[in-house]
Every structure is written in structure tokens, then in C-alpha cells.
Amino acid sequence: MKILGIEFGSKKIGAVRTESQAMNTPFLKVGKGNLSLPFIQSAVHSQGMIYFGEQNLFPQLLNQMYYTSPLHSSIVDFSVNPITGGGVGITPTEDTAEARIDVKVFSNKTKYTKLNATLTRDYYGHRRVHVLLKFSQSGKFLTMKRVDPSQIRYRFDGDFEYAEDWSTQQGRRKIWKFNPAKPCGEMLYTYQDRTPGQDYYPIPSYSTALNW
């Protein structure tokens, strides 16, 4: 019997993928080293980027742990659910028709209610959250989009490097840090923990268990 491309019964089970393979897969081999204490480059590189972990792939390892460790993923999901269970809402600072319209337009543009759980999971998995903001040349807000922390690396000049897949550096480009005083073009807003002893990338407290 075959349902949706999957054959059931005594025969071999198989499935046909119709969509393209996602980039930046978390199932690649990410290198060796002490996983509980990832290497973070502390000197200026010729390209101005701060490397994070062996082969610059420690964030990929954190994503990998979510899928390969049932205990780890359960803890992350359990932490996310109580925070996002009640949903999220935006209340206008002024009770006027114009303010209510602004909130509705912002909600439609950003789809923030759908991003709520995803951004919270990013925070618990990576201790950092990234949102790509786009503005017109005049500074008018256009759109926002969540970016997976594994796709972002920091630069010594305060801006960011983005790549669809850091194992191949496909689609690599620089992204400017969000500046509320001069919003223009494409900018990245970042929120992250300030973990003890780390000036650049936050290291999740659970990393001490990664070598297991």
C-alpha cells in the first residue's frame, strides 16, 4: 500500500523528496576539537571575521545537537513552551485609530506571532537571536525576517558576515549592524546573552556536556 509516496507493508519503506534540499544542513561533519570549549578567534583576521569553533562551524554543531540528542532537544523545547504558550501581542502606546492601524500594518508585515517560538528556540539553543530588517533609502521600515544564528558570524568592525552554508561559504556577504539613528537598506538586529569571559560569541551553558 502506498500513501503520499511512502510504501507500507513487507516491502522496503521509501519516500520521494519533491522539495529542494535545505542549505546549511545540521547533519554535516563539523570537525573535531574540544566541543565544550569552542575556539574563538581573538586576533584580527585578514578578512575581518571572528571564527567560531573548529572550521568555523560551532553554531552548526549546536543545531546538530538539537536533532541528535533527544534529551537536549526536549530540554530546549520544554524551556520554549512555557514562554511562548500564551502568545505575544503588541499594544499601541496611544489609543488612536492611527496607532491601531500602525500596529496592524506592522503585524501583517512581520508575522511576529509566527516568529515567536522560533526566535525563542534560537535564544535557548544559541543564546543569540538575529533578525534581518529592510528599510527604504528614506528609512521607512519594509520587512523583517528571522535569520538562523548558524548563518551569522561576527566581524571585528561590529558588522556581520552571512552565508547560506558556512561549510562552503555559499552566498557569503557582509550585512550592516542595525543603527536606529540611520536605518537604511539591509541591517541585522541582534540580541544575545553576555556570557562570562566572552567578548564576542555567547557560549550556551549546556556546552560543557557536548563532548558526551
Asked if residue 161 is part of any domain, the answer here is: yes
The distance of Cα 76 from the centroid of its chain, to the nearest Å, equals: 14
The Cα 97–Cα 4 span in angstroms is 48
Residue 159: which of 130, 120, 139, 137 has the closest Cα? Answer: 130
Return phi, psi of residue 150, to 5°. Answer: -70, -15
The distance of Cα 11 from the centroid of its chain, to the nearest Å, equals: 40
Asked if residue 5 is part of any domain, the answer here is: no
* For residue 60, pLDDT beyond 80: yes
Asked if residue 154 is part of any domain, the answer here is: yes
Q: What is the pLDDT of residue 100?
A: 78
Mean pLDDT of 139-156: 92
* For residue 64, pLDDT beyond 70: yes
Q: What is the pLDDT of residue 43?
A: 67
Asked if residue 3 is part of any domain, the answer here is: no
Q: What is the pLDDT of residue 7?
A: 41
Mean pLDDT of 167-187: 92
Q: Which residues pair with 173 in a beta bridge?
A: 162
Q: What does the pLDDT look like over 108-120, one tens digit per residue?
A: 766 677 788 889 9
Q: What does the pLDDT look like over 125-135, one tens digit per residue?
A: 999 999 999 99
More confident residue, 27 or 121: 121
CA dihedral 156, 133, 201, 38 (to 10 degrees): -110
The distance of Cα 189 from the centroid of its chain, to the nearest Å, equals: 12
Per the CB < 8 A criterion, the answer to whether 156 and 168 are in contact is: no
- Confidence at 154, pLDDT banded by 50, 70, 90: very high
Show the domain range for 155: 27-209
- Confidence at 3, pLDDT banded by 50, 70, 90: very low
Asked if residue 16 is part of any domain, the answer here is: no
**How many folded domains does the chain comprise?**
1
Q: What is the pLDDT of residue 71?
A: 85
Asked if residue 39 is part of any domain, the answer here is: yes
Lowest-confidence range among 14-18, 34-38, 98-102?
Answer: 14-18
Range among 11-15, 22-26, 31-35, 59-63 with highest mean pLDDT value: 59-63
3-state helix, strand, coil in the chain (%, to 5): 30, 20, 50
CA dihedral 61, 78, 131, 27 (to 10 degrees): 20
Asked if residue 171 is part of any domain, the answer here is: yes
Mean pLDDT of 70-77: 87
* For residue 52, pLDDT beyond 70: yes
The Cα 53–Cα 36 span in angstroms is 10
- Confidence at 36, pLDDT banded by 50, 70, 90: low
Averaged pLDDT score across all residues of the chain: 79
Strands 6-7 and 2-3, bridge-based pairing: antiparallel
More confident residue, 114 or 49: 49
Asked if residue 6 is part of any domain, the answer here is: no
